[in-house]
Each structure stands twice: as C-alpha cells, then as structure tokens.
Structure 1
Amino acid sequence: MQKLMVLICLGVFTLTGCSSPPRQVKASVPLVQNQVFAIGDKIPTQYRSQLESSVTHAISHPKYQIEVGPFYTSSLGQECRSLLIAPSESDEQVSRVACTEPKQYPDQIRVWYLIPNIVQSSSIIQL
C-alpha cells in the first residue's frame, strides 16, 4: 500500500513537472554590442546625392567617366550600386561597387563606400 502511494506521488510530481512551462528569463544586459564596420574607402560627400538618386546613370568627375548601375541589396544587407569607371583618356573600364548601410529613418544622411575588389590582381595560370 505504501509503495503504491509513493508511486502515485512520484507519478503526479513527474506529470506536474513536465506539464508546467519553464520560467521566463529576460536579459537586462545585451551580450553583444551592435557594431558597424566600414568596409572600403569613403566616397567624397559631393557624390552622395548622385549615388542616392535612382535616376542617376552617370557621375561627373574631372578624371573619370563613371556609369552607375541600379540599386541592389548585398549579402551583408547593404544597399549597393555597381560602377563602371573609365579614365577620360582611356577606353579601359574597371568595374567596382559602392555600398552604404540601409536607411534607419527617411531623412538619414548615409555615407557611401567604394568596396575593394575581391580579386586584387588577375593573372593567367597554365598548368
């Protein structure tokens, strides 16, 4: 009889423990600080309005002819535009990317960065 009471009590305690939710804990101190790291060289502020405008297809520069591509979102969540840059005296074009952080609020003034190329130099390797 006593064994039966012990088993019933253990069964009730087990079912009670499994059916109640764990207590909710709310963190008051963040474990990681939010940090934004700039990748690339800062583009001068005089070109900011041209990069922000969706109707801009070219940027005027004294030494270069710069064609601007459409907006897209990078894998890091940044807003970017492709740039085709050609020196005024040359036909050779270099493809680069300019990116900025996404807008936090409508009137935010953002900084644009010229992102470094993944390939620093190209060479043909023959095996």
Structure 2
Amino acid sequence: MQNIFRNSSIFVCILLIAGCTSKPRKVNASVPLVTFSQEKPNKEVVPERYWQALSDPSQLVLPHTEFSLQLSELYTSALGKTCRELTITDKTQVMKRRIVCEISFLNAENEQQTAWFLENEIIESTRHFEL
C-alpha cells in the first residue's frame, strides 16, 4: 500500500513539473482588433488656424467671435492619438462638448501629414429603458 502511494505521488509530481516547464502555445490573431489606415479620415477638419493652439498644452481657450471655446488638457486616447475635449458655449449659453484629435495620414502626394479633426459625436440619451 505504501509503495502504491509513493509511486502515485512521484507520478503526480512528474506531471506537475512537466506542466510547468512547457511553454504556452503560440496564438496568432487572424483579425486585427484595430484597423490601421493611413488614409485621410472622413471627419470634419478643424480650421488650420487653430492647430498650433490645439497642440500647445498651455492653451486653454481658443479665440472665436461667435463662441466661447474652452480646451481641456491634452491626453492620449486609447488609439494613441493626442486629443482634447472642446467645450463650446454660444451666446445663448447653450453648451456643447466635442473631442478633437490630432491624426496623421498620407496626403494626395503620398506624404505624411498631421491635422486636427473633430471626432464623431457621441449621442447621449436622457431616456431610461430596461432590457
């Protein structure tokens, strides 16, 4: 009986050691999680006169005749883009928030170019519903 217990213990130890020493299987993704494109984004371009101010971390306000434009601090998005939140207040004090991001792309001459773009709006709903 003691011999069976000893042999079983040795067998379990060998299995544990073999399991810990083998490297994990190599996995290759067949579909990328994020598609990377060098094409110009199909988004609204921020006028070029604002690009320098948007890139300046110390700039917190953009000059505009019709709106008050407040800037948040620069941050890096999950996709690695440099972005800022833009708070737009009109003369009637209606406030709107938009995100602007600096995106690199290849222009028509196949040269690297960088520009600031307004990100697509995220629609927020005030209606509550349950599934």
CA contact (8 A) 2:103 2:117 kept: no
2:42 & 2:83 partners in 1: Cα distance? 12
Instruction: Give the partner amino acid of 2:100.
Output: A
1:1-127 to structure 2, matched below 5 A, reads 35-87=38-90, 89-101=91-103, 110-119=114-123, 122-125=125-128
Where 2:72 maps in the other structure, the secondary structure is strand
5+ residue gaps, structure 2, are 1-35, 105-111
2:42 & 2:122 partners in 1: Cα distance? 12
Shift of 1:48: 0.8
CA-based RMSD = 2.4
Report the count of equivalent residues: 88
Where 1:98 maps in the other structure, the secondary structure is strand
1:34 & 1:40 partners in 2: Cα distance? 14
Shift of 1:35: 2.7
1:112 & 1:34 partners in 2: Cα distance? 16
Alpha carbons of 1:49 and 1:57: their partners in 2 closer, same or farther (altered >3 Å)? same
Shift of 1:124: 2.0
Runs of 4+ in structure 1 over 4 Å off: none
Shift of 1:75: 1.2
Alpha carbons of 1:126 and 1:45: their partners in 2 closer, same or farther (altered >3 Å)? same
Shift of 1:97: 0.4
5+ residue gaps, structure 1, are 1-32, 103-107
Instruction: Give the partner amino acid of 1:98.
Output: V
Equivalent pairs: percent with the same residue? Answer: 24
Alpha carbons of 1:35 and 1:90: their partners in 2 closer, same or farther (altered >3 Å)? same
Alpha carbons of 1:109 and 1:61: their partners in 2 closer, same or farther (altered >3 Å)? farther
User: Could you say which structure has the larger radius of gyration?
Assistant: 1
Alpha carbons of 1:34 and 1:64: their partners in 2 closer, same or farther (altered >3 Å)? closer
Where 2:74 maps in the other structure, the secondary structure is strand
2:46 & 2:113 partners in 1: Cα distance? 13
